[in-house]
A and B are shown apart, each in its own frame.
Chain A
Amino acid sequence: MSIGQLDVETLCAWVDALARAETVYAPQARGDRFVYDRLRRAEDLRLDHDVTLLPPKKYFLPPRERLAQFDGTGAARSVLDETPFVLFGVHPYDVAAIAQADAYYLKENPDAHYAARRRGAVIVACDVQAASSSVFAACMGTAVAREGFDLLLTRVDGAYVADARTPAGEALLARAGRLSKADAVALGRREQVWQDALKFLRRHELKCRPADLPGLLTRSYEHAAWEKRSERCHSCASCVLVCPSCFCFDVQDDTGWDLCSGERCRRWDACLLRDFALVADTTSARTAWSAIVTASTARASTCTTASASWPASAADAASPPAPRALPIPSSSTTPCWRTDHAGLRLRRGEGPLPFAAGRPAAQDPCHRPRDAL
C-alpha cells in the first residue's frame, strides 16, 4: 500500500472533491466545541480538534435508528442503511473504539444494522494534533493507531503524510491526484509524532497495565469504590452516552393510529440509568444484586446483623482470594499536551498555516445551536 505526502493545498482540493462526491463525516466546530457532522467543504474540516461531543460511534450505531417497519397487513421488513460514507479525521483512540464496537456487533451475534453501516464506511484516521485536557489514550495504548483504519493522515511540518492501508484507502487517496513521495525526513518526523503521542497523551495516569484491567474489574465487583462512586452519581448516564465504546440500547415499537403499522426503533440506553437495571418484579437489579451480595456476605462471615447496604469494603467481605485494590485514576500533574503540534485550521490558499488553540473560538460563525427547538 502506498505512502505519500500531501501539501495543504492538495489536501484541501482533495477533501473538497470528496465532500462534493461522497457522504463525508468529519470533525467541525459547533459553537465553541467540535462535533462530527456532514462535511460540505474543506475549510470546515478541523483536523486540529481536541475531542468531539459525541464519538464517531454515532455513525455506526445512531442515537436513534429505525430497525424495521411493519405495515397494516402484518408484513414487516428490516431497514438497513447501506449508504457508503467516509469518516474523516478520526483520532487513534476513536479508531480503537470502533474496533471494540466491531467486536461486540460483528463477532458472535452479528447485528445486521450495524454491519450494513460498517460495510459502507471508509475510515480516514488522523493523528492527534491538539490534545483534550482529559486525554488518557497513551496509558491505554491507544494514542497511536496501528490498524482499524483505511487511511492514516499525520501532520508533519505543515504537510500531511498519507498512509493507505487497505484497497479502499488506496482508492480514496488515488483521488488526491498529485501525490509526492513521503521522504525519509517526513517519515522520521512522523515517527517522532507517534513517539510524542505515546509520551504526552496522558493527562491521567493508569497505575496498572491496560491488560490487567479486565482481571482487576472481575475481582473488584464488591469493592467499596463502587459504593463511593455511586454516592456521587447522578444516574444521568452522560459518561456512558459519550463513551466511544459503550454500546447498550433499548428497542421500542412506535405504532401508528391503526395499531398495526409502525416501526421498531433502537435508541441508546445506559446501564447507569435507573430503569435499565429494573428487573421483572420492578426491583432494581442493582438493589437486588446488592441484597444478594449482602446476604452472601452475611453467610460467609460470622456477622449476624443483616445490613441493608453493600459491605463497607472488600476487606469486610473477606473470602480469599481477596480482591486487589481497584486503582482509581487520580488526576495527575502531567501537563496537557500542548506542544508545537497545536492544531492548524485548514484554509485554502493561505500561506503559513495559522495555529488554532484546542477549541474553536466562541465567535465562530456557527455559534448557534443549529437544531434549536
Chain B
Amino acid sequence: MGKPRVAIFDFACCEGCQLQIVNLEEDILGLLGLVQPVEWREALSDRSDEYDIAIVEGSITRAEDEERLRGIRKRAKLLIALGACATIGGVNKLKNACDMEDVRRYVYGRAAAMPHLATEPTRALDEVVKVDYKIHGCPVSRRELGAVVRSLAMGVEPVIPNYPVCVECKLRETVCRYEYNEVCLGVVTRGGCNAPCPAGGGWCYGCRGLVDDPNVNAARDVMDKYGRTPADLQRRLALFNSPGAVSCPKS
C-alpha cells in the first residue's frame, strides 16, 4: 500500500500555519515517512490534482475561493482545516462587522475595483464544505499537528481537546488573570495550547475558538463578580471569534 498523498492549500491567511509544517524540523522526516506531499506551495514546486488528504489553511473571502474549496473537497477523501483562519475564520472575520465596499476601498485604495479583490464576508471552511478534522490555533502547534497526523495514520480518532484553557492554567499553576483585574477569554476557549498566554502574563485571545457549549450564564456571573460586563468579553472575542458571515451585512 502506498503512502497517502497529501496536498496543502492556502486561502486568506498569513500562511504561518503552513510554515509550522515546514518548521517541523527533524520531525519533517517522520512526516514524510507517513505521507507523500504532492502539492505544498511553501515547500514543493510540484502540483497535483490527485490526492487523498487535503490540508487547508486560510478562510474563504471570495466567490472564486468558494469554488476552489469545493473542488478540493470533491477530490479529497479527507479534509483537514489548519489554523484559526480555516477553523473559525479568525481575525479575517473582523471585517464582517463592516460594509464590504468600505473594507475593499480602505484596504486596496485605488485598486479596489479590480475583480480579484471582490471581497465578501469571511467564512471558516466548515461554513462552506464539510471539514473532517480541525487543527486549531494561531498558529497551530507543531506538537498537535504531528499528533493528529500520526493518529490518522494509525486509524485512530485524533484527540482534539474540548475543555477550556482554564484547565491548562490550573495544570501549570498560573494565577487567573481575572484576579489581576483583567479579562481573559480562556473560560470559553478551547484548550490544548497549554495556556501560554495567561502564563506569560497576558490573557487568552481565543485563538483556538470556542469550546462546544460554552456556558453563557456562567460567563455573565464571572463578569458580575469581577465588575465587568458581557460586552467586555464580546469586545475581546471579536478578534478571533467574530460572528459568522450570515449575520453580517453584505456589500
A237 adjacent to B30 (CB under 8 Å)? no
**Which of A30, A231, A234, A254 is packed against the most chain B CB atoms within 10 Å?**
A234
Residues of B contacting A33 in the complex (Cβ-Cβ under 8 angstroms): 175
In chain A, residues 290-316, which have Cβ atoms closer than 8 Å to a Cβ of chain B?
A: none
Nearest-neighbour CB distance to chain A for B55, whole angstroms, equals 17
> Interface segment, A38-46, A83-91, A350-358, A365-373?
A365-373
Binary contact readout B215-237 vs A (1 if CB under 8 angstroms, 0 otherwise): 10111011000000000000000
B166 adjacent to A236 (CB under 8 Å)? yes
Does A238 make an interface contact (CB < 8 A)? yes
Task: Please report the total number of B residues contacting A with Cβ < 8 Å.
Answer: 43
Query: Are A233 and B215 CB-contacts (below 8 A) given A252-B159, A373-B196?
Result: yes
Does B44 make an interface contact (CB < 8 A)? no
Nearest-neighbour CB distance to chain A for B237, whole angstroms, equals 15
CA–CA, A235 to B222, complex, Å? 13
Does A241 make an interface contact (CB < 8 A)? yes
Query: Are A234 and B222 CB-contacts (below 8 A) given A273-B167, A274-B213, A373-B200?
Result: yes
A275 adjacent to B163 (CB under 8 Å)? yes
CA–CA, A31 to B179, complex, Å? 12
CA–CA, A13 to B172, complex, Å? 31
**Is chain A's binding surface mostly helix, strand, loop or mixed?**
loop
Query: Are A235 and B215 CB-contacts (below 8 A) given A257-B31, A372-B201?
Result: yes
Known: A369-B201, A372-B199. 15 other contacts (CB 8 A): A234-B166, A234-B188, A235-B164, A238-B166, A241-B167, A257-B29, A257-B146, A258-B30, A259-B153, A274-B212, A274-B213, A275-B162, A369-B200, A372-B196, A372-B201
CA–CA, A233 to B222, complex, Å? 10
A232 adjacent to B167 (CB under 8 Å)? no
Does B33 make an interface contact (CB < 8 A)? yes
Does A270 make an interface contact (CB < 8 A)? yes
Does B147 make an interface contact (CB < 8 A)? yes
In chain A, residues 247-303, which have Cβ atoms closer than 8 Å to a Cβ of chain B?
A: 252, 254-259, 267-268, 270, 273-275
> What is B's interface to A at a CB cutoff of 8 Å?
27, 29-31, 33-34, 146-147, 150-151, 153-154, 159, 162-164, 166-167, 169-176, 186-188, 196, 199-201, 211-215, 217-219, 221-222
Nearest to B173 among chain A residues (CB) is A53
Does A128 make an interface contact (CB < 8 A)? no
**Which of B27, B151, B167, B188 is packed against the most chain A CB atoms within 10 Å?**
B167
B167 touches which of A236, A255, A258 (Cβ 8 Å): A236
Residues of B contacting A254 in the complex (Cβ-Cβ under 8 angstroms): 147
CA–CA, A197 to B64, complex, Å? 72
CA–CA, A53 to B171, complex, Å? 10
A257 adjacent to B163 (CB under 8 Å)? no
A255 adjacent to B154 (CB under 8 Å)? yes
Query: Are A257 and B166 CB-contacts (below 8 A) given A35-B173, A369-B200?
Result: no
